[in-house]
Amino acid sequence: MSRLSLLSFLLPLPLVVACAGGPDDGPSPYDDDYPVSAYDPLFMGAPNNDELPDEGKADAVYPPLFTDLLATQSPVKSQGSRGVCSIFATAALMEHLYLKEGSLPNPDFSEQYLQWSAKVEARGFPNTEGSSGDVNLRAISDYGIVAEADWRYQTQPWNASNDPACTGGENLPTKCYTNGEPPESARAARKWKLPRGRYLNTRPSSIKAHLTTKKTALTVGMTFFYQSWNHRRSELPVNSAYWREGIVLYPNAKDEELSLAKRAGHAILIVGWDDNKEVPVVDETGKVVVDADGNPVVEKGFWIFKNSWGTGSFGVDNPHGDGYGYLSMRYVERWGNAQVSDVPVVTLPRETCDNGGDDDLDGATDCDDTDCASAAICQASPETREYAATPAASIPDNAPAGVSSTISVTDGGTIGSLKVTVDITHSYRGDLVVRLVKGGTTVVLHDKAGSYEDDLKTTFTVTQLDGLPLLGDWRLEVVDAAAQDVGTLNSWGLEIVTQ
């Protein structure tokens, strides 16, 4: 039996944040700390176990302790004061699956973007803060989400100070639950995806079969029982030692009654199990239940799970990591629904050796990346050659032929890296298409971007011509593709590092 103190019961717990609360909750002094989150989205359309196959085999023998997946988990995060636990559970699953795949050493995906995508792109629950693993995985599979750095998570929900429409709780405009729209930089960033998700039977045999055969974690959305979770909004006594170890027991009858009256939901990531873990059961008064001989009645058999309430409080004493917990297997089977996905297939871009970015996301940039070891620009004494033209040529308005200028290169050598600089004056650069032509290769440098902004004076890094000879004609073509605005190709040039 686990040697937890049977006398360590305490009502006031440290400040925590939960994906809990129900749509009928009235005002509470804890509303800022425990946001209202509807139960319904977690279970909308979810099949029950009788509608799903049990993936476990009758003769299967599983180890009493399974912790293999703990090594491929991203750091525990905090959802702050927003009721978006299913978003965090799904993002945790995604990061775990990318760690299993192995291309990204530290995958960190944007919960902020997933919340927006689930509601706007996947059209799931647009007028409530909550979501479901099913909708979240559909958003990731169909549309993809960006890295955390592209749109960082905001820990506080929008209110009237952010937008006058964001006053109240449920049935607000979608922007109130997504904290607005993603910035243009996030819209343009790479979208990372997973294979299509599916529901999984929540019987222990089925979950164990998945964990050991697929060797991947799973998300679970469930009804939230306040005393079971030792939550500070529980109307019944709670146990601070259980809270610190992250222990969640099967609810007793009174906990069921009171919690279902204000039904709430929570979602987590299951990463393993412990069949031998024993925890004394408590009654509605918070006291340990004893048998006829005066011995504590224990619950045995727990899932090991990763939570989204941050570190330093819930699960701080869990042996598998701060922020992890033990969740009753019976609880999940009776009150939960589970979703799974598969390890993605990842194709990373080639490292560009002189653009200041980590293109292949391996933690090394430009010449520090081993992929650039043979690149000319990364050699001890790279040879740089520059060529320029000053045509000062008018760009005909709304003319497909446009204007062109040619630089004839007579030098030998092979292109290691290439930059193209253009100086174009124009009163509406969103009309412009700019192309570089070398031999039989055409590279579009600019394609009607920038809308109403003036002029196009910039440098482009071009990788499509790497490895080709310098020798020959280089032609820059500039086309004005719409009426009214005109301009001039003042000058342009090439900066080439040879191999």
Q: Any idea what the CATH number is for the domain that residue 478 is in?
A: 2.60.120.260
Identify the DSSP state of 268.
E
Q: Which of 289, 319, 340 is the last residue of a domain?
A: 340
- 472 and 403 part of one domain: yes
| Residues 484, 83: Cα–Cα separation, whole Å | 51
Residue 37 is predicted with a pLDDT of 58
- Cβ-in-10-Å burial (0-12, 13-18, 19+) of 358 comes to middle
Total number of domains in the chain? 2
Please write the tens of the pLDDT for every residue from 40-79. Answer: 898 999 999 999 999 998 899 999 999 999 999 999 999 9
Q: Supply the mean pLDDT for the chain.
A: 90
Please write the tens of the pLDDT for every residue from 309-353. Answer: 999 999 999 999 999 999 999 999 999 999 999 999 998 888 888
- 164 and 290 part of one domain: yes
Residue 13 lies in a domain: no
- 45 and 171 part of one domain: yes
Residue 6 lies in a domain: no
Q: Domain of residue 270: give its range.
A: 40-340
- 427 and 298 part of one domain: no
pLDDT surpassing 80 at residue 271: yes
| Residues 201, 47: Cα–Cα separation, whole Å | 9
Mutual orientation of helices 133-142 and 85-101 as an angle, nearest 10°? Answer: 50
C-alpha angle with apex 72: 70 to 74, nearest 5 degrees? 95
What Å distances lie between residue 193 and 99, 178, 253, 340, CA to CA?
Answer: 14, 20, 42, 14
Q: Give me the phi and psi of 49, to 5 degrees please.
A: -60, -30
Please write the tens of the pLDDT for every residue from 220-243. Answer: 999 999 999 999 889 999 999 999
Say what the pTM is: 0.72
Residue 448 lies in a domain: yes
Q: Any idea what the CATH number is for the domain that residue 103 is in?
A: 3.90.70.10
Residue 23 is predicted with a pLDDT of 35
Residue 368 lies in a domain: no
Q: Which of 340, 366, 390 is the last residue of a domain?
A: 340
- 100 and 150 part of one domain: yes
The pLDDT confidence band at residue 19, using thresholds 50, 70 and 90, is low
Classify 383 as helix, strand or coil: strand
Residue 485 lies in a domain: yes
Please write the tens of the pLDDT for every residue from 449-499. Answer: 877 788 999 999 999 999 899 999 999 999 999 988 899 999 999 999 987
pLDDT surpassing 70 at residue 381: no
Q: Are 428 and 452 in contact (CB under 8 A)?
A: yes
Classify 70 as helix, strand or coil: helix
Mean pLDDT, rounded, for 83-95 = 97
- 311 and 432 part of one domain: no
- 319 and 438 part of one domain: no
- 291 and 423 part of one domain: no
Residue 467 lies in a domain: yes
The pLDDT confidence band at residue 307, using thresholds 50, 70 and 90, is very high
| Residues 133, 86: Cα–Cα separation, whole Å | 6
pLDDT surpassing 90 at residue 26: no
| Residues 68, 276: Cα–Cα separation, whole Å | 17
Residue 21 lies in a domain: no
Residue 249, token pair as written in the block: 């027991």
Q: Which of 312, 340, 368 is the last residue of a domain?
A: 340
Residue 65 lies in a domain: yes
pLDDT surpassing 80 at residue 431: yes
| Residues 306, 315: Cα–Cα separation, whole Å | 9
- 186 and 109 part of one domain: yes
| Residues 401, 481: Cα–Cα separation, whole Å | 10
- 326 and 412 part of one domain: no
Residue 4 is predicted with a pLDDT of 37
- 388 and 296 part of one domain: no
- 433 and 286 part of one domain: no
Residue 133 is predicted with a pLDDT of 96
Mean pLDDT, rounded, for 394-416 = 93
Of the ranges 288-297, 370-379, 489-498, which one carries the lowest mean pLDDT score? 370-379
What Å distances lie between residue 149 and 67, 98, 164, 263, 332, CA to CA?
Answer: 30, 17, 28, 35, 34
